[in-house]
Amino acid sequence: MFVRGTAIAFFLLASVSGLSLLHAEEGKWTQLFNGKNLDGWTPKIRYHELGENFADTFRVEDGLLKVGYEGYDEFNETFGHLFYKDEFSHYRIRVEYRFVGDQCKGGPGWAIRNSGIMIHGEKPEQMTKDQDFPTSVEVQLLGGDGQKKRTTLNLCTPGTNVFKDGKLFMPHCTPSKSKTYHGTQWVTAEVEVHGNQIIKHIVDGQVVLEYTKPQLDPREDHAKALADQNGTVDLNSGTISLQSESHPVHFRKVELMVLEPSSN
């Protein structure tokens, strides 16, 4: 049973992290994907209006959240993102994913067996109709081709930068130190996020990449406009979304744990 002070503290923690008292408890996993439908999630697919799930790109079948392209003639850089309804600051997010099938016709070579978890993202309604990626920090999910080494849980930075080893770090994509995951095996990917402090990428329980101080990149016009609107380049919180980048991918679990803001 909560004492009064504990209840107040928990309410403040839940509010900061974007979850209500009815849906989250600090230190426990909350399921963001219910295994039945896309309740709580909204698609934003390039060249289409917010909420339009073009060609049934995102769907739930057999208890899985599936990203597929059966309704596409060609991909034509129609990148998409499925946004969760709340924003978060201090949390852990964990997904179980696998790549299946063949890439959609016309998909870029780099997008074969490629998806991602976007964190600290902008609101989907802030995106333009033809915008390819939300301004965010991308935890890149990659599958191997059966032969070559290809790490997963890499870092990509659409409209953002981070600090690494104490210095501003501006490369667009940076590999992790994970092993390669070939085939259609399920992979457990986790991200531990501490606001504008440290962020860790974790695969199968091993930290494979970490960095600090995510921030908007003022060199990009849209990111600069967001920074001007926010009054700072620092990113302390934001949306979470899952990608559609032309290769079919399944998610069988998407869950989140609220963390105390002082956690490291």
Phi, psi of 228 (to 5 degrees): -65, -40
Q: Give the pLDDT mean for 198-225.
A: 97
Determine the Cα–Cα distance for residues 61 and 59; give it in Å rounded to an integer: 7
Mean pLDDT of all residues belonging to the chain: 92
Establish if 189 belongs to a structural domain.
yes
Per-residue pLDDT, 62? 97
Tell which wins on pLDDT, 19 or 223: 223
Whole domain around residue 146: which residue ranges? 28-258
Per-residue pLDDT, 212? 98
Q: What is the CATH number of the domain that holds 165?
A: 2.60.120.560
Give the number of domains in the chain: 1
Residue 2, pLDDT > 80, answer: no
Per-residue pLDDT, 23? 53
> Cα–chain-centroid distance for residue 194?
15
Per-residue pLDDT, 27? 80
Classified as helix, coil or strand, 233 is coil
Reading phi first (left if > 0) and then psi (alpha if -120 to 50, else beta), residue 252 is in: alpha
Task: Give percent of the chain with pLDDT exceeding 70.
Answer: 89
Establish if 220 belongs to a structural domain.
yes
Per-residue pLDDT, 24? 58
Q: Which residues, 6 or more positions from 199, have their beta carbon under 8 angstroms from its beta carbon? A: 119, 137, 162, 191, 192, 193, 210, 211, 212, 214
Residue 7, pLDDT > 50, answer: no
- 198 falls in which pLDDT band (50, 70, 90)? very high
